[in-house]
Amino acid sequence: MNIDKNKKALVISDFDQELVTILQRVTNIQPENMLTIESYGCIISHPFGDIMRSVIIAIYEENVEDIFVVGTKDDSHHTVKLPTRLEKDKIKTLDYLFKNSTPELQGGTLDAWLNGKGNVRENIKKSVDIIRHHALVPSHVNVRGLLIDPNDGDYSIVETPTSTMV
């Protein structure tokens, strides 16, 4: 995969600095042309949240033309557990709000918002889909999902149909 090394690219990845180094090698993008946003599980949980805001600003202010949503193959998915009785009552209330408040709390449940789908490939697909179909993202911006093995640098493209909608 060779990208024009003089173009600016944006990488949304998990908190693993090695991913950016591997991606620079795979794509041939110069370090000074690569912007990064780190997010647990490379998840964009809301089309109008802070991460998406940063993506849009990068597109318009930094002239980003390529966006990569990158996860790791060996990612042992971390889940947030909220165990106490008081917290369980709060979770029920928040789950009710997630199901019945729009658009602020889209996503179904508190667990879905905190942990994503539990599958790195599915989280990447969802994030790519949100970016690709966002009203403020120009159609010429390339958005790709990649799954990288940090042990050997091997990567695979996460196929995301271009016709799906968020």
Annotated binding site: 16
Beta-carbon contacts of residue 13 (< 8 Å; ≥ 6 apart): 19, 20, 23, 36, 37, 38, 39, 42, 68, 69, 70, 71
The answer to whether the CB of 113 falls within 8 A of the CB of 41 is no
Q: Whole-angstrom Cα distance, residue 108 to residue 127?
A: 16
Q: What number of CA atoms fall less than 13 Å from residue 51's CA on the CB side? A: 23
CA distance 74 to 95: 30
> Phi then psi for 18, rounded to 5 degrees?
-60, -30
Please enumerate, by residue number, every residue annotated as part of a binding site for Zn(2+). 16
